[in-house]
Structure 1
Amino acid sequence: MHQPYYEDLVTGEHILPWVRLHALKDYYGMVALVDEFPSIRLTFNLVPSLLVQLEAFAANRARDRALDLSLKPAADLSPDETFFIIQHFFHAQRQRMIEAHPRYAELLAERGSASTPSEARAAARRFSTDDLRDLQVWHKLAWLDPFYQDRDTRVRALVGKGRGFSEADKQLLRTIELELLNAVLPAYRAAAARGQIEIATSPFYHPILPLVCDSDVYKRTHPESPMPRHRFVHPEDAREQLTRASALHERLFGRRPVGLWPSEGSVSNAMVPLVAEAGFEWMATDELVLARTAGMVFTRDGQGHLDQPERLYQPYVVSAAGGRVACVFRDHALSDLIGFTYAGWHSDRAAEDFVGRLVEGGRRYAARGGRGEPLISIVLDGENAWEHYEGGGRPFLRALYQRLSNHAELRTVTMGEACRGAQAELAGIFPGSWIDANFYIWIGHHDDRRAWSQLAEARDALTAPGHADPSALERAREEVLIAEGSDWFWWYGDDHSSDHDAEFDDLFRRHLRNVYRLLQKPVPDELFTTNISAAAPPPAATAPTGLVHPALDGEETSYFEWLGAGRFDVRDTPGAMHQTDRRAPHLTSIQFGFDRERLYLRLDGERPMRELLALGHEVSLIFLKPAGVRFSIRQTDGQNRTSGVPAHAAGSILELAIPVSALGPVSAVSLFVAVHDAHGTELERHPPNRPIEADVPDPAFEARQWSA
């Protein structure tokens, strides 16, 4: 569980409210639920940048604008404050958190889309004082943990009242809010003390440690990529982020952590000795990093069961640069079932399916000659998945924990327990993250590189502090450490976006401006200008115009089978070949479309696609929507091996079919197509600027596309 550091250290304001709101729901509820299942063992990763902010909010020392305006008497709100509330008090999952409460849904309908500032101001004028007060309450009430919504009589009374709230109701809700905020850390402390959970940590401000150690590590997977104008090489900062994280956990929980989730599962050889020196005994990352390290590919059968469990389902010891640390690699597919797929299933069916997959994985491990007990590592986001589940995920987790509690073939363990006695050795580790085993998201886009350049220059300014006194120098260094966090770079570029991109961009540059001001140095003009590219690139591809029904044979069987497909032509993309000495891309076009049950893709290349695969190349589909989903195809021993793709055919062209059900409850998809060489180096990614995007056809799709 993590949040970036939202506080502006100069003004003391927390720019976004997510620490406080998630603490009201998932941070407390996830650990409170464990009390009901005493035989379950879990590992929670709590990031220090989250914990110090949580402490401040619990002590009523931290403020954010949404909190202040939620407490202000509705009759006293100014037009600008009302405008802010109308814009920002509906940031909640619509189906589970807004539409589940009739009055909250009514207020959203009253606001309308409000997609422009003028529309939002017009909507604000429609809200009465009573409407605004109800919105102030529901904005917070909808985030309260299901435990409180079900069991606390005060909360049940507020939910039952539904509308017509008073200022006294708002004050009561604030009392409940502070109670919940103050319950979070003691709940984790108690669960750890009784041995039911292990608390792991991440580097203090959640930086990508391999990039902090040396930003040029990115060249391992993207050797032809442009780089920031200044190389960032500060392993001493990486060391400090680790040691401070360990010290904070000792203060809060009474013991130093032995486990580390490197931010975003990001690992490299350079960070291994730093992790070991800081006293950590284990770390974790993704299965694709292990595959790249071992020079292999993990494949799955048509039911999604792993073909090589004896390689993945065991802990390893990584030795690199004089350091040694145990490492586990998560089962990507099983973790993503919880993160992205099961939210649309009935809780009992989802739990039964998941447990069945664990049992099958263990049996396959034994059948393949695995030594000792298999270790299946499930690692996923601890906060963002649950708002898409019924009941905040509690029915599913209860169903899952109940089945795991007394299972004849399964036993839950903490990561620390799992890593004791690890014997399999790895001489080094491939540099990458849990997202596609590389660092593209954080340094691959022009906006990322601009931000890294600014960070490097601000970091250099610390070495010549000028007239700054020691206190100011210490505060300036803190600002740099905060700016090293991963989240600022996550929201740059075309791979992720939210309603708060501008706030993240502003806060990143604000931290760096503070560095120069504290050092009494001129602030570079560049830090007053957004890093977000001025104009969004044009759509990457033409959209599908009809349903498609291709025969999966790797050949163009008929002109008509792909007639209604969307299309992206690689050679026609402006800017795709900006380097004159760069080789021609392997792919020449991508076509995509749907029938009623499947997403189809057709890839054409500059040579027959069966030959491309025979050379050892891997073709990957990297989804941004649904996030984290990835399918790949590689040829091994003369046979095509897939990671998750149920049906495909490689001949002159490569044709793939993916059941829409495998993507979870989505109404649209967005994805990139990438080609890697035999060593895992990404050779190309298409489209280059923004993903292919397509709506999943609804029943009226064909009628809308019809023309005479």
Structure 2
Amino acid sequence: MNILLLWHMHQPDYIDHSTNVALMPWVRLHSVHSYLDMLEMMERFPGLKTIFNFTPVLLEQIEKLVQKEAKDFVEILTRIPATELNPIQKQKILENFFKANYETLIRPIPRYYELLQRRGKVVNYARLEELTSLFNPQDYLDIQVFYNLVWCGYAARKQYPFLNELRKQGGNYTEEQKEELLKIHHAILSSIIPKYKMAQERGQIEITTSPYYHPILPLIYDTNFARRCMPYVNLPSQFKAPEDALNQLKLGQEKIKSVFGRPARGVWPSEGSVCPELLPLFKEAGFDYFFTDESILFRSLELDPHWRGKHEDHLLLFQGWRVELPEASLCALFRERPLSDFIGFKASQNDPLQAANFLLHSLENTCKHIDPKKGAILIALDGENAWESFNDGGEAFLSSFYRGLVEHRNLRTTLASEYFDTYPPTTTVYKLYTGSWINADFDIWIGDSEENKAWEWLGKTREFLTKNSNKEGNSSELKSWKCLYAAEGSDWFWWYGPDFSTDSDQLFDELFRSHLKNVYGFLGFTPPPYLDLPINVPSLPVPYIFPRLYISPKLTGRLENYFDWVGAGFLDISVQQTAMYQSNRIGKKLFFGFDKNNFYLRLDLAAKPEIVVVDFISPAINRIECIAKDGNQWDKKLEAMDSAGIFQPVGGTIEVFWDDFFVLAVPVATIGWKENSQVSFFVRILNHEHLSLERYPERGTIDFVFPSEDFELQQWFI
């Protein structure tokens, strides 16, 4: 059976075009990490074929950094000798040079982790100026080196042994070593596009693309289209620019052709977002097929009278389709969501070989039920952000998965072009649902007050540009349109609103408004003053609330008394903390607290979990595992890690109940807590195969101090 792997490579336009400075470093840092790693892994398996979906704006930024037409703000800070840093530059380094996965990129290097702890895991902006005095010039130099070093992935370390020498040295770096490290970064950056071109020429990869600046095309065409899938949403004033949607596609094709020598035949619409009106635009831009999510297929079948009563069969997914509309006809593949999400969110939480085998067995089982020739499974996901969560950058997992694919007698990886040329679709759907791959709607990008304000300001800016554009195509006018198109990108709207949050929220907000201000600036106009006002409302610096009172809740799994959990610590699981979206999550809320004798944990979940694991990192490494049985019975075990790093059973009473929510209690003496112990823990949800499905928090740990006897007096409040 045909397996199509699509890796989506995407970064928004980080360059402020009035200064040609990239305000974020992710193009360069992902180049030395994911972009190089993914290609090097492909080269290990010549028989493997994959699809790489590059956004044109990412390619443009790589070219500009290589040609030195743009500068990288983090690199600018890195190049300043540590002894010459001024107070503001020191603050910027402390703010920005720890933006990496704490567990996989920072903690493995003891001195880097110690510097992070000195600064604090959460940036305290009010104390940044004060914090700068805690670091000497060697500290700042080491931070400059560490931040650029840890982003070098396994392929970079294999190609440049100097990187391993720096990691082994572990600190006390010199300015000369820093300069050599940055030379390696630029050598890798310069190699990225040529390496992918070579892989395309030898037929191992196919390059597909997205609209130029990664906009949500249906909303660019007409924001009112959101009502089709979100009928009661509060929408901004109508933004309607179908010509922009077409231009984003055409410009994207031009960029792909100029970089790779040929246009792309396939398009991944940004975030899998489609609507019927886009098919003629895809056709006009020269695409033969498009990719989107399985939810779009099944909802399209529900709309189609030809499939009435016949669309319940999930196996219909595993084939190429023809989408036939009165306006246009195009081929399509719809991605298998659970396995795609497993790679993106859950594989890193499991043993690499076990995770790879789970995928291979799942694919093999699907093979047994579909046409082995024309059958196809599309696995499509982010090809860059997922690997930060793996301790080794995903090397062991991807190596096992790829080896399993090329050696499997019933599976063959193929390119979309080969597949559609060999097996033209014989199955047709005559309707196309309007929505994205996330819940088949556009809730992430529109409807919240912040998101709507951004759409309003985008609309006003476009109206100004249209009125003041004489269509002569002079350089200033072209720059203004370029900035407007950049502001149409999906990423700014992704970080607005309550759905996602990061320590770079304000910077994304600044970038969006900079693009809008530059529309005015390049035409010689003063931007309206409201564009200097942040849209983003800063969130609390700590993503969870600390316990304020002793609690002693009744252990029934029901809320017996409102005051049972008053004063408990709280983590809102529903708020995403990463750049990717995970579907089918069951986690809603996490409460935690204690009295003098016990630790209590409550999980509000959408469904009963199969296995709940609570991992304590400090003051001792303990693990509580609770396995659901029939009724309200649970198998419970407590284990502690011994000096050899092996978990051993520990005696002790653990109470667990499930009804409206999951609740757990364990004596603090059993898990080794004493007064003023520093406690760090996280929670995982597993299935019965012990595959990790969800983690709370998604990254890092919940940290607090188990208090002394006068805790309640210190926390007293009315």
TM-score band, normalised by shorter chain: 0.7 to 0.9
Do residues 134 (structure 1) and 142 (structure 2) align?
yes
Write the letter of the residue equivalent to 1:394: E
CA 1:563–1:98: 2 relative to 1, 3 Å: same
Q: 2:520 aligns with which of 516, 527, 548?
A: 516
Shift of residue 444, structure 1, vs aligned partner = 1.8
CA 1:270–1:206: 2 relative to 1, 3 Å: same
Shift of residue 120, structure 1, vs aligned partner = 2.4
Write the letter of the residue equivalent to 1:44: F
Q: CA–CA distance in 2 between the matches of 1:467 and 1:371?
A: 57
- The residue number in structure 2 matching 1:348 is 353
How many residues are aligned here?
596
Do residues 383 (structure 1) and 391 (structure 2) align?
no
Do residues 500 (structure 1) and 500 (structure 2) align?
no
Q: CA–CA distance in 1 between the matches of 2:137 and 2:703?
A: 42
Do residues 45 (structure 1) and 53 (structure 2) align?
yes
Do residues 453 (structure 1) and 456 (structure 2) align?
yes
Write the letter of the residue equivalent to 2:348: A
Gaps of 5+ in 2: 1-8, 305-310, 568-587, 593-598, 608-627, 633-658, 663-682, 714-718
Describe the SS at the equivalent of 1:493: coil
Write the letter of the residue equivalent to 1:446: S
Describe the SS at the equivalent of 2:334: strand
CA 1:413–1:307: 2 relative to 1, 3 Å: farther
Q: CA–CA distance in 2 between the matches of 1:432 and 1:87?
A: 37
Describe the SS at the equivalent of 1:664: strand
Shift of residue 88, structure 1, vs aligned partner = 0.8
Does the aligned pair in 2 maintain the 1:48–1:205 contact within 8 Å?
yes
CA 1:213–1:545: 2 relative to 1, 3 Å: farther
- The residue number in structure 1 matching 2:338 is 333
- The residue number in structure 1 matching 2:201 is 193
- The residue number in structure 2 matching 1:283 is 290
Q: CA–CA distance in 2 between the matches of 1:139 and 1:538?
A: 23
Shift of residue 706, structure 1, vs aligned partner = 12
Q: 2:232 aligns with which of 224, 234, 238?
A: 224
Shift of residue 307, structure 1, vs aligned partner = 8.8
**What TM-score, normalized by structure 1, do the two folds share?**
0.77
**What per-residue deviation string (whole Å, max 9, x for no partner) do you get for residues 154-177 of structure 1?**
222222222221111111112111
- The residue number in structure 2 matching 1:249 is 256
CA 1:559–1:45: 2 relative to 1, 3 Å: closer
The aligned runs of 1:294-693 (5 Å cut-off) are 294-295=301-302, 308-363=313-368, 365-366=369-370, 372-420=373-421, 421-465=424-468, 470-533=474-537, 601=605, 660-661=685-686, 664=693, 666-668=695-697
CA 1:96–1:422: 2 relative to 1, 3 Å: same
Does the aligned pair in 2 maintain the 1:228–1:452 contact within 8 Å?
yes
Q: CA–CA distance in 1 between the matches of 2:710 and 2:266?
A: 54
Write the letter of the residue equivalent to 1:94: Y
Shift of residue 477, structure 1, vs aligned partner = 1.1
CA 1:599–1:321: 2 relative to 1, 3 Å: farther
- With 107-116 and 390-399 compared, the bigger mean Cα shift is at 107-116
The aligned runs of 1:157-168 (5 Å cut-off) are 157-168=165-176
Q: CA–CA distance in 1 between the matches of 2:112 and 2:200?
A: 37
Do residues 235 (structure 1) and 210 (structure 2) align?
no
Q: CA–CA distance in 2 between the matches of 1:246 and 1:647?
A: 56
Does the aligned pair in 1 maintain the 2:546–2:704 contact within 8 Å?
no
Q: 1:171 aligns with which of 157, 161, 179?
A: 179
Shift of residue 126, structure 1, vs aligned partner = 1.5
Q: 2:24 aligns with which of 16, 19, 33?
A: 16
**What per-residue deviation string (whole Å, max 9, x for no partner) do you get for residues 36-85 of structure 1?**
10111111111111110011112233212210111111111111111111
Q: CA–CA distance in 1 between the matches of 2:378 and 2:67?
A: 36
Q: 2:269 aligns with which of 262, 273, 278?
A: 262
Write the letter of the residue equivalent to 1:111: R
Write the letter of the residue equivalent to 2:413: T
**What per-residue deviation string (whole Å, max 9, x for no partner) do you get for residues 529-555 of structure 1?**
1112478799999999758665xxxxx
**What per-residue deviation string (whole Å, max 9, x for no partner) do you get for residues 405-459 of structure 1?**
1101111112333334112111121111111111111112111111111111111
Q: CA–CA distance in 2 between the matches of 1:381 and 1:261?
A: 12
Does the aligned pair in 1 maintain the 2:590–2:602 contact within 8 Å?
no
Does the aligned pair in 1 maintain the 2:506–2:538 contact within 8 Å?
no
CA 1:107–1:669: 2 relative to 1, 3 Å: closer
Shift of residue 462, structure 1, vs aligned partner = 2.2
Does the aligned pair in 2 maintain the 1:348–1:396 contact within 8 Å?
yes
Describe the SS at the equivalent of 2:48: coil
Q: CA–CA distance in 2 between the matches of 1:540 and 1:441?
A: 22
Q: CA–CA distance in 2 between the matches of 1:96 and 1:383?
A: 15
**What per-residue deviation string (whole Å, max 9, x for no partner) do you get for residues 126-163 of structure 1?**
21111111111111011112122234222222222222
- The residue number in structure 2 matching 1:613 is none
- Which runs of structure 1 show a deviation greater than 6 angstroms over 4 or more consecutive aligned residues? 466-469, 534-545, 561-567, 590-598, 645-649, 654-659, 695-701, 703-707
**Coordinate RMSD, CA, aligned:** 3.8
Write the letter of the residue equivalent to 2:685: V
Q: 1:97 aligns with which of 105, 113, 120?
A: 105
**What per-residue deviation string (whole Å, max 9, x for no partner) do you get for residues 358-402 of structure 1?**
111222x23xxx585421111111111101112100110001111
Does the aligned pair in 2 maintain the 1:114–1:123 contact within 8 Å?
no
- With 98-107 and 462-471 compared, the bigger mean Cα shift is at 462-471
Q: CA–CA distance in 2 between the matches of 1:439 and 1:655?
A: 30
- The residue number in structure 2 matching 1:86 is 94
Q: CA–CA distance in 2 between the matches of 1:485 and 1:235?
A: 15
CA 1:462–1:120: 2 relative to 1, 3 Å: closer
- The residue number in structure 1 matching 2:574 is none
Q: CA–CA distance in 2 between the matches of 1:18 and 1:331?
A: 28
Describe the SS at the equivalent of 2:35: helix
Describe the SS at the equivalent of 2:450: helix
Write the letter of the residue equivalent to 2:686: S
- The residue number in structure 2 matching 1:76 is 84
Q: CA–CA distance in 2 between the matches of 1:538 and 1:33?
A: 38
CA 1:108–1:466: 2 relative to 1, 3 Å: closer
Q: CA–CA distance in 1 between the matches of 2:629 and 2:488?
A: 40
Does the aligned pair in 2 maintain the 1:273–1:320 contact within 8 Å?
no
CA 1:704–1:29: 2 relative to 1, 3 Å: farther
Write the letter of the residue equivalent to 2:498: D
Does the aligned pair in 2 maintain the 1:542–1:566 contact within 8 Å?
no
Write the letter of the residue equivalent to 1:400: F
Q: CA–CA distance in 1 between the matches of 2:300 and 2:37?
A: 37
Q: CA–CA distance in 2 between the matches of 1:465 and 1:541?
A: 50
The aligned runs of 1:51-62 (5 Å cut-off) are 51-62=59-70
**What per-residue deviation string (whole Å, max 9, x for no partner) do you get for residues 290-322 of structure 1?**
12212299xxxxxxxx99442211121112352
Write the letter of the residue equivalent to 2:21: E
**What TM-score, normalized by structure 2, do the two folds share?**
0.76
Q: CA–CA distance in 1 between the matches of 2:215 and 2:46?
A: 34
Provide the identity percentage: 33
Q: CA–CA distance in 2 between the matches of 1:487 and 1:375?
A: 30
